[in-house]
Structure 1
């Protein structure tokens, strides 16, 4: 009894192309693609998702192994598409870093930095806290399901073998960055008002009592009142962020 295995090379090439798109996206996703996550865990997630997506989109890959050039070109296209999907999600989460930086400045904690595990670089400690809280809420609210759905729907937006429209990708990146900055400022708006009123009050107090060391009184008071305000509004802040992130991921489920 003989088995026809002539289809295996083309199937293996298709799997590698799917894995290139999935793996690049997983590498850039916040929460999953961090260096603190073991590489075996990230590799396992990418392999499992690629194995799930391959049967659904196998026919989209028209592979001719007789010529290597088109296969290599398709590989780079798949890497580009995965990078666009993953970077979009990461740029959206960066809104929390913007909000954290503004909040830290208004509370007088802008000089306190720590390593941000989601960015692998130094960041203000409040921004790191908000980012970690946002990533935790992504998984708690099942928004990562939208990421998987966007990955599946990307085969309708970006057909394998077709050159992605650079203008649309640039427009998506620009819009995501601008919206992330706007949302970050909106999330920190209560602290901008707090900082303005608090510093205005300190200015009036220093005029009324010139002999008082306003700085030594104002900084601890600013930190305590700022943390009380953060405790009061953090639920609303994160609710707005989750709604914003859901809208960003939802854009990936339809054409630009």
Structure 2
């Protein structure tokens, strides 16, 4: 007859529950994995599979009961670590979508928006287009595998314990959040520069030939110039996505290293 004590039961629950909390929080916030088009059952099942694969390699805290106050505190810490890691990588795709939104407004596509299931709201079409291209490029470079590898490595860098993360790691995450504006500007700068020159040319034209109806020809010109520059700059889009993705992965590793006091 197989018998076990309550201490052994608490140890088994803790060895599975705490890693599961971090993994599920990461899946809920990380790009690609958190896509709303993926059914929740698939996400939960994928989280359980990762936990089953990772949990046996970890040293569970033997002095923490999952149902105690300290156990709930550790559970919240694991959720915080997972959310911070996933959010750091999510900002890269937010910057790309922000670049598409800025460029779309300048081109004149601000009125053209579709329902985005990822955000559960209406998003400009150019932002959705760049977001889909970035997601495909990220999958092509095996970015999702790097995400899982960094997640598994985080359990060694930040072991499961009742020690809160350092404020320096949160400060790094805040600074990284501010960098999305610089990334978005870098991506949309060719279109913004070309449209600025186009608007200056049309302004000079309106002064030299007041009889020209700029309201009739201005929108087709800006639309055509914007699409031409977008088509020409797409060859440089994949290297920028690769650079931003590696910056995001490096930031994830740096945040997990700084969380350890």
Q: How does 1:1-256 map to 2 (within 5 A)?
A: 2-6=1-5, 7-57=8-58, 59-65=59-65, 68-254=68-254, 255-256=257-258
Shift of 1:153: 1.9
Structure 2, unmatched stretches of 5+, are: none
Shift of 1:45: 1.2
The alignment partner of 1:122 has SS state of strand
Paired residues of 2:202 and 2:218 also in contact (CA < 8 A): yes
Compared CA separation, residues 21 and 174, structure 1 to 2 (3 A): same
Q: Deviations over 1:16-75 (max 9, x none)?
A: 111110001101112221222111111111111111110111x14334439722211111
Paired residues of 1:149 and 1:253 also in contact (CA < 8 A): no
The alignment partner of 1:30 has SS state of coil
Compared CA separation, residues 119 and 242, structure 1 to 2 (3 A): farther
The alignment partner of 1:114 has SS state of strand
Paired residues of 1:118 and 1:132 also in contact (CA < 8 A): no
Aligned residues: 254
**Distance in 1 (alpha carbons) for counterparts of 2:162 and 2:151:** 17
**Distance in 1 (alpha carbons) for counterparts of 2:46 and 2:197:** 49
Q: Deviations over 1:162-181 (max 9, x none)?
A: 43334223212222212221
Compared CA separation, residues 238 and 83, structure 1 to 2 (3 A): same
Task: Give the structure-1-normalised TM-score.
Answer: 0.92
Q: Give the alignment's Cα RMSD to 1 decimal.
A: 1.9
Task: Give the structure-2-normalised TM-score.
Answer: 0.90
**Distance in 2 (alpha carbons) for counterparts of 1:66 and 1:27:** 22
Shift of 1:8: 4.3
Structure 1, unmatched stretches of 5+, are: none
Paired residues of 2:89 and 2:252 also in contact (CA < 8 A): no
Compared CA separation, residues 164 and 132, structure 1 to 2 (3 A): farther
**Distance in 2 (alpha carbons) for counterparts of 1:62 and 1:198:** 67
Paired residues of 1:97 and 1:131 also in contact (CA < 8 A): yes
